[in-house]
Chains A and B, each alone.
Chain A
């Protein structure tokens, strides 16, 4: 018996050694793996899916410290087939594990976007936490951009979309899981950031590309005199204040591109139904997320006497939705409590005021409450028009008023009465 055991042991060790040294069991060499960092999906003229995979190509460490990238486009009748085609034409095994960004081209907004995203949602080869965004034009072009933020554009885009605490929450990012969860929810309403490119010339001056967004430096030096604005700007916004999401660069490259993601594309049942401008995006964030340390610009507070402009930092925001549903009425109240602090203003204040933790001037408070109320109402109006229930009113109805759900589920946006209560408190 002992002899047999020894024989078995020897055989096992020999087998392991052979396997260990041969590596001949279907392994893919680490260098033959295409490390896909992002994919852009577009629809071609011949109605096929075009998947452009941005692949990080590491250079030998002693040659170049920076990694190169390759953008390879594959075509197919489905997204999966197009990705397979990427492997076929490149000789690399497409490894989606590290793909953390999916760029949807405008051409796909004409169809149900879930046709594309479902592939990523179902496969286990990609992280469901990968960010999704809509390109202003072609997804491939967006990925092909050269950005001063990172030599790999997808990393630069992620820097814009993933903001650490302490930054303004002026972008409404989403990932595959969130988008699909929202799509398959009762309201079938989802959103994703709409990314626009902002070209920046050598001199450091920023020329607006497709969006007429001024450069941060320009706007900071020449504040607009328009009525009021949030901290961000966009083409659709009435304001033209600095673009916080498009970080400035030191101007290393001649064709440097920055990104503006402060507008949001709205989807209902997978179809693009509208956009939220910069201000509405900010309001959406204030109502649905923790927006502490987000700055808010308040202009023309004292219109008749002196043009008082303020930069206000939101320290705490608390929003809730109260709903009452009866047979005769569906009433939804949005209550927003904000605690903030004035960070800057465009006029001198006495030294004594700096040390005085006095409360917010009543004019500021009133103006801010008025403005926020108007913007929430504006957002609600957009929701009504687009049917994209980004505030999850229907979900609230289902969860808390299930008895009335059947009555209102199809017409809640039309029949609901809304109220907005904004309470701003804070200190100078």
Chain B
């Protein structure tokens, strides 16, 4: 079995790609439901994801084939294809919110008068380009992007810290379980990144303590998001829900910015750069799975189907996106929960290579 990735790359994958898509619109979504308890909502999502990661680490430990192989061993050819088809849809829907929010972000904050099509179409060329690449390239991208994400993130957080009123989080838990869980439920579309790890099973040589490394980097990335959520609320408090794009807003009240100018844009641009890759990940995995299901050898065909499909979808529904958002928030959550969080919990139970069974039978 030839491994395409190193454990280091898996760890950096999470550091590079996890935080960036969650710091555009998600903070205001959380705030809308849970107000000063938004960080608890966020924590709930993190716990769900970490549980899935924990389970998958066990699967990685014993896996002697990739996830496709594990599914085939456990559910047979047809069964595995059905499950994989569900994951194609999962990743496709998972991509909608981050891509659309970024499209809006670019249009509203970066371009004043330009028609939509010009600003965002090129993104699909890049996501297509990423989708045709082997998983090894994704690992290599993570090798570089973790530094870019970290730098951008630290710059924005560093600039915003001075304006934080940390007591704004008090009193804890007063918004009630319903509000907190509603926030978590609505945010499921952004979370469930642990599902990526499923498709990375068998792509790297699992060594002792690798599980610990993966778990802790995932934890680190998740807590970076949590920190951002806390900072966000503590800066904006009662008007947090109005800040649709927290990325641009969070750091501009620093006295350094006021005196020197908006050099926080350096951090914003770094995050935007990393988010191009991060947004492409669901599309990449959807293309990868589609190739596996259909047996298409040429990766560009499945990449074209998925990326072209997403482009057409967003263009068609651009004027009715609030409806799409409503359905994703209210109805798709359960789908995300099952495929992104619950199914991964059972991956350690998937059967390993058939050969072993055959040998045993012999």
Contact = CB atoms under 8 A, between A and B. Distances in A.
Interface in B238-264: 238-239, 242, 244-245, 248-249, 252-253, 257-259
A129 B258 contact: yes
Nearest to A125: B112
Which of A93, A125, A129, A162 has the most chain B CB atoms inside 10 A of its CB? A129
Interface stretch (B54-62, B167-175, B181-189, B303-311): B167-175
Nearest to B172: A402
Contacts of A63: none
Contact of A124 (B174, B238, B244): B244
Contacts of A400: 170-171
A36 to B, nearest CB: 13
A28 interface: yes
Given A177-B236, A181-B236, A181-B237, A399 B170 contact: yes
B113 A181 contact: no
A377 interface: no
Contacts of B249: 128
Contacts of A177: 236, 239, 253
A192 B248 CA distance: 25
Contact of B112 (A28, A162, A398): A28
Given A25-B118, A128-B249, A402-B171, A184 B112 contact: no
A25 B114 contact: yes
A184 B239 contact: yes
A103 interface: no
B109 interface: yes
Determine chain B's interface SS by DSSP, over half rule.
helix
Contacts, number: 58
B89 interface: no
Contacts of A121: 239, 242
A399 B167 contact: yes
Contacts of A162: 258-259
Given A95-B112, A121-B239, A127-B252, A164 B245 contact: no
B245 A124 contact: yes
A352 interface: no
A127 B261 CA distance: 12
Contacts of B296: none
Interface string A377-419: 0000000000000000000001110100000000000000000
A2 interface: no
A128 B167 CA distance: 22
Interface in B199-256: 236-239, 242, 244-245, 248-249, 252-253
B108 A129 contact: no
The residue among A25, A28, A124, A180 with the most chain B CB atoms within 10 A of its own CB is A124
A391 to B, nearest CB: 14
A37 B216 CA distance: 48
Contact of B113 (A27, A128, A184): A27
Interface in A117-162: 121-122, 124-125, 127-129, 162
A184 B31 CA distance: 14
B34 to A, nearest CB: 16
A350 interface: no
Contacts of B236: 177, 181
Interface in A211-241: none
B113 to A, nearest CB: 5
A122 B171 CA distance: 27
A126 to B, nearest CB: 12
27 contacts: A25-B114, A25-B115, A26-B114, A26-B115, A27-B113, A27-B114, A28-B112, A93-B112, A95-B112, A122-B242, A124-B108, A124-B244, A124-B248, A128-B252, A129-B252, A162-B258, A162-B259, A164-B259, A177-B236, A180-B239, A181-B237, A181-B238, A184-B238, A185-B237, A185-B238, A400-B171, A402-B170
Interface of B: 108-109, 112-115, 118, 167-168, 170-171, 174, 236-239, 242, 244-245, 248-249, 252-253, 257-259
Interface of A: 25-28, 93, 95, 121-122, 124-125, 127-129, 162, 164, 175, 177, 180-181, 184-185, 398-400, 402
Give 9 closest A-B pairs by Cβ, nearest first. A184-B238, A399-B170, A402-B171, A185-B238, A181-B239, A180-B239, A26-B113, A129-B252, A181-B238
Given A124-B109, A129-B258, A398-B170, 8 more contacts: A28-B113, A124-B108, A124-B244, A125-B112, A181-B238, A181-B239, A184-B239, A402-B171
